[in-house]
Amino acid sequence: MCYNGRKQTEKELMEELKRTLYLVLDTETATIPEYAQLPEERQKDFAIWHPIIYDIGWLLMERNGNIVKQKSYLVSETFGNVRLFQTAYYKEKRNQYLADWKQGLIKLETWDNIMKELQADMEASGYFCAYNASFDMRAIRYTERYISAVYGDMEVYGRWIEWQLLTEEEKKARGWVKSEHPEETTFSIRGGKPIVLIDIWAVACDFLKNNEKYKAFCYNFRHYNKYFKTNAEIVYRFFMQNDHFEEAHTALEDAKIESWLLTHFIERKKAIKKGITTHPYLMLGSIKSYAEKV
């Protein structure tokens, strides 16, 4: 390859490769066991905002979808905590995970070692990608805090757990001020180099916002509530024309589906949205508005 009219050096070739590698990540999460103390109507929302990772998987792919590396890990500190794992939405998959672990399909590793490898792979990539990326980023950050607390001083841990269970109103009454963060355009972990952030969910919604075939598909198969469903499973069903497809709901396998979707949008030569878009499903409009036209 040439670089500004001259042959690229090995270092320049490596830098070029980094800029063209996409790291696509997915997580499966539980939450703190103490959430069971909360009223039932708060529990689901609590789990969404306090996610603790027990299964994390990612892959590195080239722009054409070619996968050059993939990793799949169970987090020893969380998967091994049976009480915590019982709070997982897919807790019935535990035996499947154990079978996969015994067959060497997934590794059991400490959170610290997983984060070190993820950070190295992020350094080797140009883009950090996930479907509903804000959730996966929140899960990584919250798992960091949880493991730091649970493996620290017991008294400090007790106070930390107590704080988690408070409502926003109760926290504000104790002087807490909610931080307002601008929509992120990059992501980094443990002080590493920030890399460009791609939320594949926002990319999908941007691509499908004017797609009448997708809206008809969702409407006919009842994939909607007040709005069209735009989760990875439904979007993949549309492109595969297979309404019986179900995601594995394990991190690496779901990341593969999400990487396929990202490659599909890249191949359409459409500008790929960067950063986080709040509530991207709103781009498609409401079911009520659609139903009034059909």
pLDDT 10s digits, 63-115: 999 999 999 999 999 999 999 999 999 999 999 999 999 999 999 999 999 99
Q: What contacts 156, CB < 8 A, 6 or more positions away? A: 149
pLDDT 10s digits, 122-144: 999 999 999 999 999 999 999 99
How far is the C-alpha of 178 from the C-alpha of 172, rounded, in Å? 8
pLDDT 10s digits, 263-290: 999 998 778 999 999 999 999 999 999 9
The CA-based dihedral angle spanning residues 118, 122, 124, 125, taken in that order and rounded to the nearest 10 degrees: 140
* Contact (CB, 8 A) for 219 and 287: yes
What does pTM read for this prediction? 0.92
175 Ramachandran zone, left/alpha/beta (phi>0; psi -120 to 50) = left
Label residue 230 by pLDDT band (50, 70, 90).
very high
